[in-house]
């Protein structure tokens, strides 16, 4: 769920961008700008300092954007966030923008945590199974947790599918304890 303040910015960017492709093209450069600001204590402090003039802040943001190759509508959006004192929360706007693009493209993000790195075939099979289940295109974000011992855990929104070996062992342990009348440890 995105921050309520971000919606008017996203709505305005959607209107100005025109096409969905142009709107989606804003995610990366605006995200790069947001990452640069949030990733630097010095920049964040500078942009939040009330003693620094708006012109100096705008010039600094333009210099950061030029260094990152951020131009056009993404730069203008960054300058608007700066002038509205929201630049420190630009990541939230980018997140809301990404959510809107995903909604319009009928795309969902799924996180997959596996015991070992997934090969391309396994990732494609998981994505296809999730596409059939959700009716949406799936973007996978995969990570590794050796503690799962085997299998994987998939999360799409609030739904979780756990096919890990560690979960199966936990279920078996609980079933054995229940059958014996002993409380699980």
Nearest to 66 by CA among 54, 55, 56, 78: 78
Which pLDDT belongs to residue 166? 73
Nearest to 32 by CA among 76, 81, 10, 65: 65
**pTM for this structure?**
0.72
Which pLDDT belongs to residue 35? 96
Would you say residue 150 lies in a domain? yes
Single residue among 34, 67, 102 that ends a domain in this structure: 102
Single residue among 70, 102, 134 that ends a domain in this structure: 102
Domain that residue 12 falls in? 6-102
Would you say residue 1 lies in a domain? no
Cα 184 to Cα 167, 171, 172, 176, 178: the distances in Å are 14, 10, 11, 9, 8
Single residue among 102, 133, 150 that ends a domain in this structure: 102
Residues of the chain short of pLDDT 70, as ranges, are: 1-2, 182-185
Q: How many domains does the chain have?
A: 2
């Amino acid at each position: 769920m995105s921050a309520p303040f971000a919606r008017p910015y996203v709505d305005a960017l959607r209107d100005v961008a025109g096409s969905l492709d142009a709107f989606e093209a804003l995610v990366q450069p605006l995200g790069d700008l947001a990452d640069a600001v949030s990733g630097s204590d010095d920049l964040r402090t500078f942009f939040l300092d009330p003693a620094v003039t708006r012109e100096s802040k705008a010039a600094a943001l333009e210099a950061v954007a030029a260094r990152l190759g951020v131009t056009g509508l993404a730069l203008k959006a960054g300058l608007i966030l700066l002038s509205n004192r929201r630049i420190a929360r630009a990541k939230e706007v980018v997140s809301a923008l990404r959510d809107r693009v995903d909604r319009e493209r009928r795309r969902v993000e799924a996180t997959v945590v596996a015991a070992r790195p997934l090969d391309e075939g396994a990732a494609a099979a998981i994505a296809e199974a999730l596409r059939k289940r959700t009716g949406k295109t799936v973007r996978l974000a995969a990570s590794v947790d050796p503690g799962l011992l085997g299998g994987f855990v998939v999360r799409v929104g609030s739904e979780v599918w756990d096919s890990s070996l560690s979960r199966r062992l936990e279920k078996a342990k609980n079933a054995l304890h229940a059958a014996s009348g002993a409380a699980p440890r």
